Structure 1
Amino acid sequence: MSIKFGMIGGGMMGEALLSRLVVQGIYLPDQMLVSDPQEKRRDFLAGQYRVQVTGQNRAAADASEVLFLAIKPQIFAAVSKELESETRHALVISILAGTPLETLETAFPGQPVIRAMPNTPAAVGAGITAIAPGQHAQPHHLDQARQILETVGEVVEVPESMMDAVTGLSGSGPGYVALMVEALADGGVAAGLPRAIALKLALQTVRGTAQLLQEEGIHPGELKDRVTSPGGTTIAGIAQLEKSGFRSAIIEAVKAAWMRSQELGGKR
């Protein structure tokens, strides 16, 4: 059977997508070819998902429908050099942080290209991916990209000018949330809770709050006001967060990641 879906880079994000594509039947395993330099990783992916594997990037790039780039942006120049001198027509979907459409389209002349930024909750099908189409991408290419990326969560379309900001917020955001969960649990331990109980309470508090905000469609400030009774415990805690610059720290973290994404794309 011919290879329809090629992937260069079989890391965590690539694996998350592979697993969902297989489970949801978007592609059959023998229609998918994953290129990765590590033999151990190739063996794992082949054994776990029954997909085809190779150490040759060119073979994955020759897929007939989609080429999915899931490598580190620092090695893109070397990988793209391997793929020169062939005419291809497959849709290219790139999740390389900071790598602009202009760079991608230079490497894949004439091919439709879509730049995407998913995040790590994609591993459990709860991610969100922002996409920005290149100049050769047509509506049916966007539909195809959405079908693929919706297997790991929600998809939103944004102008490419916003992609670095997306990277700073949702792309890097799981790291900030994980740090907050850890800090909440540490606070519980400091207040006398056993570690396992503190972590469970912290995790479900974050998960439930996000679900409540999403399902009721309310502004975070409204929910905060609901749970802060006069002279109560929550307002005491919030006052301390404000004193410690919690809000400012999160804003600055997003901005720092946004600027780093721009640096990776050669904009700074």
Structure 2
Amino acid sequence: MADEMDADIDMSLGERFRVYLNYLAGNPRPNELVVLGAGRMSQCLIDAFVAKECFSKSEVVPVTQSQKSVSKWIDRGFERACTLTSYIQSQPPSANRIIMIGVKPQIRTELFDVLAVARDLKLEAVMILSILAGVTHTTLTKELSFLGPIPVVRLIPNIPSEIGAGVTLLYTNNEYVSKVSSALLRAAGEVFVLPESQFNAAAAVTGSGPAFVGLLVEGLADGGVLAGLPRDKAFEMTLLMLKGSIQLMLETGIHPGQLKDKVCSAAGTTIAGVRELEKGGVRSALIECIKATSDRAYELGNVDVNKK
């Protein structure tokens, strides 16, 4: 299997993933993605997977808490959407199944308790993908041991995954599972395979970062309005400025500090603005916000871990 998976196969991203999944499963059964907790982040990933043809809509089973949510998924063309109770009672068919867990980490034990007592549920799977913030690979493997020896992959995606421009952090202790899951997650953007010790810090930057960028954009655009710009122009200019600045750093490798220095001239307008940012503690606030976010991820990961 290793030689075949490592071969340079001239295929699309979706086709390559399907080949890898079949090799890993060792069985050409139908593919299936079961999503336990089909919320906002799960939806971003599902949409990316479908867009890149890793899964078809008929192969995706969004499992939600309410019938209202089920109806919304069905309206979007995911006809197999259902509640957890309905899924358990349906006796899932044999499949090359990937389970993705996307519930809030604080309530995961409630989900696991329901699955554990469903004695008639034979939920076979090739792997389990977890997007639970802060919950370690070891903890999740232990808590899901009632499902059997299914490989667990810990993921931290982000919101830009919705348009295939995301960053996903990935950790698993199985080389082939890492290869298959990486192939799938590339549908959502870039994938970083990291040691788990770096996960909370990296997730604070990539996972929570878009929220901080949104706040930054608002602040810069509001400043433009205060200085006399129409709001729509201030917003558009801010976004394009950020896009160009980021593209410049990515393509040239210029350090952010060098970029600042290139723009700042002696006794000029930009250095006056930089002075105000430093007086306001913006640099320190950004550092502290990443630290607080990372610490909170650790706290969430340790909620209820001893309940089972």
Q: TM-score, normalised by structure 1?
A: 0.92
Structure 1: which 5+ residue stretches go unaligned?
Answer: none
1:127 pairs, out of 145, 166, 169, with 166
How far, CA to CA, are the matches of 1:245 and 1:17 in structure 2? Answer: 36
1:193 aligns with 2:221: no
How far, CA to CA, are the matches of 1:199 and 1:87 in structure 2? Answer: 48
* 1:51 shift after superposition: 4.7
Moved more, 6-15 or 78-87: 78-87
Task: Say whether the 8 Å CA contact 1:3–1:30 is kept in structure 2.
Answer: no
Deviations along 1:192-225, one digit per CA (max 9) or x if unpaired, are: 1111111111111112211221122221112111
How far, CA to CA, are the matches of 1:210 and 1:49 in structure 2? Answer: 36
1:109-128 maps to which residues of 2 (within 5 A)? Answer: 109=145, 110-128=149-167
2:71 corresponds in structure 1 to: 43
Q: Which amino acid aligns with 2:71?
A: D
Deviations along 1:163-182, one digit per CA (max 9) or x if unpaired, are: 11122211111111110100
1:156-167 maps to which residues of 2 (within 5 A)? Answer: 156-167=192-203
1:222 aligns with 2:271: no
2:138 corresponds in structure 1 to: 102
1:52 aligns with 2:87: no
1:145 corresponds in structure 2 to: 181
Q: Which has the larger radius of gyration?
A: 2
1:183 aligns with 2:219: yes
2:285 corresponds in structure 1 to: 249
* 1:46 shift after superposition: 2.2
How far, CA to CA, are the matches of 2:77 and 2:272 in structure 1? Answer: 50
CA RMSD of aligned residues (A): 2.0
* 1:190 shift after superposition: 0.9
1:260 corresponds in structure 2 to: 296
Task: Say whether the 8 Å CA contact 1:21–1:27 is kept in structure 2.
Answer: yes
Task: Say whether the 8 Å CA contact 2:62–2:78 is kept in structure 1.
Answer: no
Task: Say whether the 8 Å CA contact 1:5–1:27 is kept in structure 2.
Answer: yes
Task: Say whether the 8 Å CA contact 1:115–1:131 is kept in structure 2.
Answer: yes
Q: TM-score, normalised by structure 2?
A: 0.80
The 1:194/1:61 distance shift into structure 2, 3 A limit, reads farther
Q: Which amino acid aligns with 1:72?
A: K
How far, CA to CA, are the matches of 1:158 and 1:230 in structure 2? Answer: 42
Aligned partner of residue 292 in structure 2, secondary structure: helix
State, as a whole percentage, how many aligned pairs show the same letter. Answer: 35
Structure 2: which 5+ residue stretches go unaligned?
Answer: 1-28, 304-308
